[in-house]
């Protein structure tokens, strides 16, 4: 296995990093404080092709392989200090565009993927419910067959991009008695009768990414907007989770690289007791640990990308990647705060924001506890 990037992949990664540094970081402290979604930045990302990295060119995407897409997303996270925007783009890419690409009909791909790639549409995935979080198949949202369509009724929570989304992938059951085998996916567009979405809820971190609740009250969806067959939601969810868990933190690896470089500069320039703080072993050890976490996170990420580029299933590897990168990002963010001291606690530094944003990575797309459970099951422990 050779995980070295080609010259073209390096150029792609660096060009997206430069773009993000120049175009996406303006007025970030205010936008974070006001929980403002960067719609203009979203469009700039689309113009760079980020929302359609894996989508074929015939549908408006860049038609990249998984390794090249991961390289692009790492560069995105390195250059873009707005972790909320990175999260929103990744959620759109892995939980909306990719399921349509994988499970959609050709008509669905032709009608929806170009808009999801060019910035016209913002996508969201509606799965979690008040009684169905980690236990995703216990959902209570129903899809009752009515003529040539379905009537969807239920309540979805924690819908990333929900308040600004134009298109929702909604999971519902066509038969609660079938449990997981009744779960079916539907494509629901903003403005559909019976569909309402709340305003953005206030969050600890990732504040520039919008999250809300979705309510469906006899929301009529035509049968041609069913994504896959009845009961195929189980396969769609599992496939989407494998890709999402594995790659949603690709941008975080870039953020960890940026974070490490920031801390190294601090250690070389900040002086205490007549020395640079990097000369103190307690500080240098933190930098070494940050470097180690970055290296292992990158190895797991690109190994997974190589596996998916080879067309292989990688359920355990995706869970391992998600678990390791999320935990590493939190630990390195804590170290960065300590290295920066009181200055790191100030909003203007961006250090405390990285920590707030990193904490959520241990929860979304399956908690760290769920990832450990998946890994244990795949190894036959439980």
Pick from 341, 364, 348, 264: which is nearest to 25 by CA?
Answer: 348
Task: Determine the angle formed by the axes of helices 351-359 and 315-344, rounding to 10 degrees.
Answer: 150
Query: Residue 159 in contact with residue 126, Cβ under 8 Å?
Result: yes
Query: Residue 169 in contact with residue 189, Cβ under 8 Å?
Result: no
Compute CA distances 373 → 127, 315, 367, 378, 381, whole Å.
Answer: 20, 12, 10, 9, 9
Compute CA distances 158 → 21, 128, 212, whole Å.
Answer: 29, 7, 6
Pick from 323, 307, 306: which is nearest to 368 by CA?
Answer: 323
Q: Are strands 123-126 and 167-173 parallel, antiparallel or unpaired?
A: parallel
Helix (H, G, I), strand (E, B) or coil at 376: helix
Helix (H, G, I), strand (E, B) or coil at 196: strand
**Residue given tokens 């355990």 in the structure block:** 316
Query: Residue 240 in contact with residue 97, Cβ under 8 Å?
Result: no
244 is catalytic: yes
CA–CA gap between residue 354 and residue 358 (Å, rounded): 6
| Catalytic residue of the set 74, 213, 242, 244 | 244
Instruction: Write out the catalytic residue numbers.
Output: 244
């Amino acid at each position: 296995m050779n995980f070295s990037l080609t010259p073209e992949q390096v150029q792609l990664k660096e060009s997206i990093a430069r773009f993000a540094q120049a175009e996406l970081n303006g007025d970030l402290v205010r936008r974070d404080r006001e929980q403002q979604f960067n719609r203009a930045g979203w469009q700039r990302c689309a113009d760079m092709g980020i929302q359609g990295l894996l989508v074929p060119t015939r549908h408006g995407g860049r038609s990249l392989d998984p390794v090249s897409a991961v390289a692009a997303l790492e560069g995105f996270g390195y250059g873009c200090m707005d972790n909320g925007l990175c999260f929103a783009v990744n959620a759109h890419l892995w939980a909306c565009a990719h399921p349509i690409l994988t499970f959609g009909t050709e008509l669905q791909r032709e009608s929806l993927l170009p808009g999801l790639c060019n910035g016209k549409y913002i996508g969201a995935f509606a799965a979690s419910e008040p009684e169905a979080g980690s236990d995703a198949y216990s959902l209570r949202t129903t899809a009752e067959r009515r003529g040539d369509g379905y009537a969807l009724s239920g309540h979805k929570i924690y819908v990333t991009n929900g308040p600004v989304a134009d298109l929702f992938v909604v999971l519902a059951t066509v038969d609660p008695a079938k449990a997981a085998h009744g779960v079916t996916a539907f494509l629901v567009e903003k403005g559909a009768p019976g569909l309402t979405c709340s305003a953005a809820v206030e969050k600890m971190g990732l504040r520039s990414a919008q999250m809300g609740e979705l309510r469906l009250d006899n929301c009529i969806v035509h049968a041609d907007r069913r994504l896959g067959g009845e009961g195929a939601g189980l396969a769609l969810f599992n496939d989407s989770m494998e890709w999402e868990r594995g790659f949603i933190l690709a941008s975080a690896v870039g953020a960890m690289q940026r974070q490490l470089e920031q801390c190294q500069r601090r250690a070389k320039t900040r002086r205490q007791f007549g020395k640079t703080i990097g000369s103190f072993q307690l500080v240098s050890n933190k930098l070494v640990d940050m470097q180690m976490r970055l290296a292992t996170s990158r190895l797991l990420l690109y190994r997974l990308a190589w596996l998916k580029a080879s067309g292989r299933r990688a359920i355990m590897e995706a869970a391992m990647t998600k678990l390791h990168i999320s935990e590493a990002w939190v630990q390195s963010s804590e170290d960065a705060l300590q290295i920066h001291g009181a200055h790191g606690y100030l909003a203007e530094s961006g250090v405390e924001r990285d920590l707030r944003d990193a904490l959520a990575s241990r929860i979304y797309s399956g908690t760290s506890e769920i990832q450990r459970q998946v890994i244990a099951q795949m190894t036959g422990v439980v």
